[in-house]
Amino acid sequence: MTARRDPPGDGPQDDDAALFRSAIGPVRELPPAPLPPAPPKPRPVPRMARRDDDDARSEFQRILDAGLLETGDALRYRCDDVPPRVLQRLARGEYAAQEELDLHHADLAQAEALLRGFLKAARDAGVACVRIIHGKGLHSDSRTPPLKNLVDRMLRQRADVLAFHSAPAAQGGGGAVLVLLAKR
């Protein structure tokens, strides 16, 4: 006995589909559904800005980690566009200090705030040369005078400082620094 196979298209399933279509009647095809919105593109990664920030941080850390000044060391710095002769004249005390800030008896946090405020006020007033008295650090716990190192680091970071040098002996010597400020 052999099983009888229906030819394709004549099976009971096709009869059911035809019956369904005749029961429903004519149909209208729906318009295609719009595609779902695409997921938002990821924000661009600012690699260059991040690299620049990392470079700036490493340079800042290098400056902080650079050898600290000791009691007898002289402070000296000049911007690239300031002639060396200006620094020599500053070292000899040929520029008159128009304002003065004494940081004696200030802790590091107070000294930093005082120095920032003093330099801003001096620049706003159009002062060209100031003297900052930081002391020699003879009473500090270590050989490194903390106020002297703080003044050195802060002055090197400021764009409005053109040059600075430890004052001559008659104006405070190793316990003071003369600073030339940029014009407003």
Query: What is residue 102's predicted lDDT score, i.e. its pLDDT?
Result: 92
* 15: in domain: no
Residue 11 falls within a domain, yes or no?
A: no
Matching residue, tokens 């060396």: 84
How far, in Å, CA of 88 to CA of 82, rounded?
A: 11
* Residue pLDDT tens, the chain, 184 long: 554 455 555 556 678 888 888 888 888 888 899 989 999 998 888 888 888 888 888 877 766 656 666 666 778 888 889 999 999 999 999 999 999 999 988 888 899 999 999 999 999 999 999 999 988 765 666 667 888 888 888 898 889 999 999 999 888 888 899 999 998 7
Q: Is pTM beyond 0.75 here?
A: no
DSSP state of 162: E
Q: What are the two backbone dihedrals, phi and then psi, of residue 102, each rounded to the nearest 5 degrees?
A: -105, 115
Q: What is the Cα–Cα distance from 176 to 171, expressed in whole angstroms?
A: 7
| Residue 48 within any structural domain of the chain | no
Residue 41 resides in a domain: no
pLDDT value for 142: 63
| Number of C-beta neighbours around residue 19 at 10 A | 10
DSSP string, 75-119: PEEE-TTS-HHHHHHHHTT-SPPSEEEE-TT--HHHHHHHHHHHH
Q: How many domains does the chain have?
A: 1
The answer to the question of residue 12 being in a domain is no
Whether 172 is covered by a domain: the verdict is: yes
Structure tokens at 162: 């053109």
pLDDT at position 106, please?
A: 87
CATH assignment at residue 173? 3.30.1370.110
| Containing structural domain, residue 131 | 71-181
Number of Cβ atoms within 10 Å of the Cβ of 162: 21
pLDDT for the residue numbered 84: 92
Residue 111 domain flag: yes
Specify the pLDDT at position 181. Answer: 94
- State the Cα–Cα distance between residues 171 and 178, nearest whole angstrom: 9
Say if 159 falls within a structural domain.
yes
Query: How much is the pLDDT for 137?
Result: 61
For 69-100, what is each residue's pLDDT tens digit? 666 677 888 888 999 999 999 999 999 999 99
